Amino acid sequence: MSDDRNRSLNQEALIFHSTGRPGKIEVVATKPMATQRDLSLAYSPGVAEPCRIIHRDPNQVYDFTAKGNLVAVISNGTAVLGLGDLGPLGSKPVMEGKAVLFKRFADVDGIDVELDSTDVDEIVDTVRVIAPTYGGINLEDIKAPECFVIEQRLRELLDIPVFHDDQHGTAIIAAAGLINACALTGRKLSDVRMVVNGAGAASIACIELVKAMGVGVNNVVMCDSKGVVYRGREAGMNQWKSAHAAETDARTLEDAMVDCDVFFGLSVAGAVTKKMVASMADNPIIFAMANPDPEITPEDIAEVRSDAIVATGRSDYANQVNNVLGFPYIFRGALDVRATTINDQMKIAAAEALADLAREDVPDEVARAYRGTRLQFGPEYIIPTPFDPRLISAIPPAVAEAAMASGVARKPIVDMENYVNELRARLDPTFGVLQLIFDEVRANPKRVVFAEGEEEKVIRAALAFKQEGYGSPVLIGYPERVREMIREMGHDPDELEIVSARDFDNRETYYDFLYARWQRRGLLYRDCQRLVNTDRNVFAACMVANGDADAMVTGITRRFSFAYEDVRRVIDPRHGQRVFGLTMLLSRGRTVFIADTTVHELPTSVELADIAVQAAAMARQMGHEPKVGLVSYSTFGNSTHVTSDNIRGAVSLLDSRELDFEYDGEMSVDVALNPELMELYPFSRLSGPANVLIMPGLQSANIAAKLLQSLGGATVLGPLLVGLSHPAQVVPIGSSVSDLVSAAALAAYDAGKN
């Protein structure tokens, strides 16, 4: 990673963590707390009854509290990522991040707990006394060998799962890859000869797990910074290394690598040479998992071996060993059966389920996103991708079944098929689909114009867009001014392309293009020259319309209506479609699409019907089966207002078309979203709550979206412009760098579909 990229990423990370409410997590009530009655049920006197019941039967704590979905993420900060001993406060951003991953991938509530202690006894006692609060304990970034002792003692003391992810998470994902690599090379686990470089927590966990899975106990050689860990060695030894000391004449990593089948690296960059790789057996399996840089790069391996199967810890290479494939789903399964521990059987089940998933046909939405080709089980795909939507329904059931089979489940699952369906419903597919869209943009990068190129926020967004691999950003502005701003930000001005109309060779083509469009609509040729030369939105849109760029993004310096008008001077609607704004609101695992939030002030019945069809298509593209509610302030004929008439007219028009999605209206928004209220209207065509809301007018749509964002705490994406013939996005004034990058990436994705 270049110094410029590091600097930019560091700046954005600081802004990300500090903007608004500092940090990444908060506590949100799951029950209403609006009235005195709500409070009396939540606290005194209503809370007394569940307290009494739990006192009589402690197991009922899972029925009346959040314990069963709560995991403590515990660290003392002595081994933070690759940064070393940063202490408890230095580790807190990482632990908050871990809590976010728990929620994002498996709907598990993680609470970070940082301990100001390096004393093993003190840490064990502290976790022991707070354990009744939680359904599981995730230990994180505690240095070896203390982490081994802490985990073992807590597993003996507690009757809830205790899992040190630095050890077991890496081991489980690597084991899954090993299963598939052995299958591809015709090896049996019991026969492979394996070298593991590194003697930390992850290395020892990998060795213990692969031995439990069948790798011969005498077939694994561990190396540390002093060389091979062999029987009889005294220097630098401890009980955990001694347990895996090998009977071997090899004394160096280079010696050990000769004719070995498998290499697991959990050490440092550059630890492995091409000579070592060349000395390995035929079809070697090389997992170089040091982060951020592997022990040896796939490129260096390819120079000496064409028959190797390679995995790393990095997302920019095939076969990423990523812990997020493991810990969220393992805890999900363990919590759902109220397991007393996470044992070897559960870890092996997780590894085998991951391996099996990689062998299945890859869904189209996943396949499209990676390298532009369909992923297929083979040397380049032995481990599932982190955003595969099937992970939530594949790993937890396997873990739960293993817990039940091994006798550690206190609440066995009776109906596994129903459990799998519940798991699928836990996560909103939008999150995963958005990531898949962005990954597809990486696979097919585009040239995107950032029209407001003299704004610092836009420059930072362009840098981030490029660094994320989405494509080539183009900044519109005076080059001298923009270059100076980039220098002041600590970056190389040559890192970004800067364009101004005065220096652009093709501008006369743009004059002619714009004049041909507007000569019969009131503009003279000199008017078109002035617009191209002075209006950056018009100039950027001309670049896109004339094929000099793939897409554009603008909006942070001008009101939406003005910026949109500039774009529409140049770009027409897509044939047969309406242009409208679609806002996505993501909140508590639920996504609602609202249209039209930007363009049509008072849409007609025909416009509403067309918008409904296009919005439903967008919802489906985002992973949702559309249920479209055409909403008003009245429900099924209770109003004669013109907006209600328009809604009813739109429903009639939809009835005349052959459509493959559910829709109904007119209905009030609470009926559309609340299944209990919907039961009052048994004739409603919607089989469940609406996830696409077609609003009767621009004001109500825009107000609703902004109100939900401001007061409801929803994450908002958009409004996205839908229906233009060339990709362009107009973001709201005040949008963040992340908003700009997302809008630009979505515009680039749209360019790939045109």
Q: Residue 724 phi/psi, 5° resolution?
A: -75, 150
Distance CA 403, CA 400 (A): 5
Determine the number of helices (DSSP H) and then strands (DSSP E) in the chain.
31, 21
* pLDDT-derived band at 612, boundaries 50, 70, 90: very high
- Is residue 364 predicted with pLDDT exceeding 60? no
Average pLDDT, the chain: 89
- Is residue 73 predicted with pLDDT exceeding 70? yes
Report pLDDT for 191: 93
Q: What is the pLDDT of residues 656-665, one digit of tens each?
A: 999 999 999 8
- Is residue 362 predicted with pLDDT exceeding 80? no
Q: What is the pLDDT of residues 187-208, one digit of tens each?
A: 999 999 999 999 888 899 999 9
Active site residue 98: yes
Instruction: Write the CB contacts of 495 (distance below 8 Å, at least 6 apart in sequence).
Output: 4, 463, 466, 486
Half-sphere exposure of 387 toward its Cβ, with a 13 Å CA cutoff?
22
Distance CA 229, CA 495 (A): 47
Report pLDDT for 639: 62
Domain spans of the chain, in order of start: 168-427, 439-568, 580-723
| Annotation: CATH topology of 439-568 | Rossmann fold (3.40.50)
Report pLDDT for 209: 94
Question: Which pair of tokens denotes residue 462?
Answer: 């362009």
Lowest model confidence (mean pLDDT) among 402-411, 486-495, 582-591, 620-629: 582-591
Distance CA 63, CA 71 (A): 16
Query: What pairing do the DSSP bridges indicate for beta strands 728-730 and 692-694?
Result: unpaired
Q: Identify whether 596 is preceded by a cis peptide bond (ω within 30 of 0).
A: yes
Q: In what order do the strands lie in the sheet with 471-476?
A: 497-499, 471-476, 446-450, 551-554, 728-730
Lowest model confidence (mean pLDDT) among 257-266, 318-327, 616-625: 616-625
Sign of the dihedral through C-alpha 436, 438, 442, 443: positive
Sign of the dihedral through C-alpha 152, 153, 154, 160: positive
User: Residue 684 corresponds to which amino acid?
Assistant: S
Half-sphere exposure of 587 toward its Cβ, with a 13 Å CA cutoff?
17
Q: Mean pLDDT over residues 645-658, rounded?
A: 92
Q: What is the pLDDT of residues 136-180, one digit of tens each?
A: 999 999 998 899 999 999 999 999 999 998 888 899 999 999 999
Same fold, 168-427 and 580-723: yes
* pLDDT-derived band at 1, boundaries 50, 70, 90: very low
Report pLDDT for 751: 87
Cα separation values, 94 from 80, 113, 199, 239, Å? 8, 11, 23, 30
Half-sphere exposure of 499 toward its Cβ, with a 13 Å CA cutoff?
26
Q: Name the active-site residue from 43, 188, 274, 525.
A: 43
Q: Name the active-site residue from 24, 31, 67, 98.
A: 98
Q: Mean pLDDT over residues 103-129, rounded?
A: 94
Report pLDDT for 135: 96
R_g (Cα) of the chain, nearest Å = 29
Can you give the pTM of this predicted structure? 0.74
- Is residue 626 predicted with pLDDT exceeding 70? yes
Superfamily of domain 580-723: Isocitrate/Isopropylmalate dehydrogenase-like (3.40.50.10750)
- Is residue 431 predicted with pLDDT exceeding 80? no
Q: Mean pLDDT over residues 366-376, rounded?
A: 59
Q: What is the pLDDT of residues 522-539, one digit of tens each?
A: 899 999 999 999 999 999
> Left, alpha or beta for 522 (phi > 0: left; psi -120 to 50: alpha)?
left
Instruction: Write the CB contacts of 414 (distance below 8 Å, at least 6 apart in sequence).
Output: none
- Is residue 452 predicted with pLDDT exceeding 70? yes
Pick the CATH number of 168-427 from 3.10.28.10, 3.40.50.720, 3.40.630.40, 3.40.50.300: 3.40.50.720
- Is residue 370 predicted with pLDDT exceeding 60? no
Q: Mean pLDDT over residues 551-567, rounded?
A: 92
Report pLDDT for 22: 86
Q: What is the pLDDT of residues 316-361, one digit of tens each?
A: 788 999 889 999 999 999 999 999 999 999 999 999 999 999 998 7
Question: Which pair of tokens denotes residue 581?
Answer: 């704004």
Short-list 146, 330, 344, 171, CA closest to 238: 146
Q: What is the pLDDT of residues 727-748, one digit of tens each?
A: 999 998 888 888 899 899 999 9
pLDDT-above-90 percentage for the chain: 60
Strand intervals (E) in 356-477: 446-450, 471-476
Instruction: Write the CB contacts of 454 (distance below 8 Å, at least 6 apart in sequence).
Output: 475, 477, 478, 481, 482, 485
- Is residue 723 predicted with pLDDT exceeding 60? yes
Residue 667 contacts residue 608 (beta carbons within 8 Å): no
Q: What is the DSSP letter of 339?
A: B
Report pLDDT for 552: 96
Report pLDDT for 588: 66
Residue 616 contacts residue 744 (beta carbons within 8 Å): no
* pLDDT-derived band at 713, boundaries 50, 70, 90: low
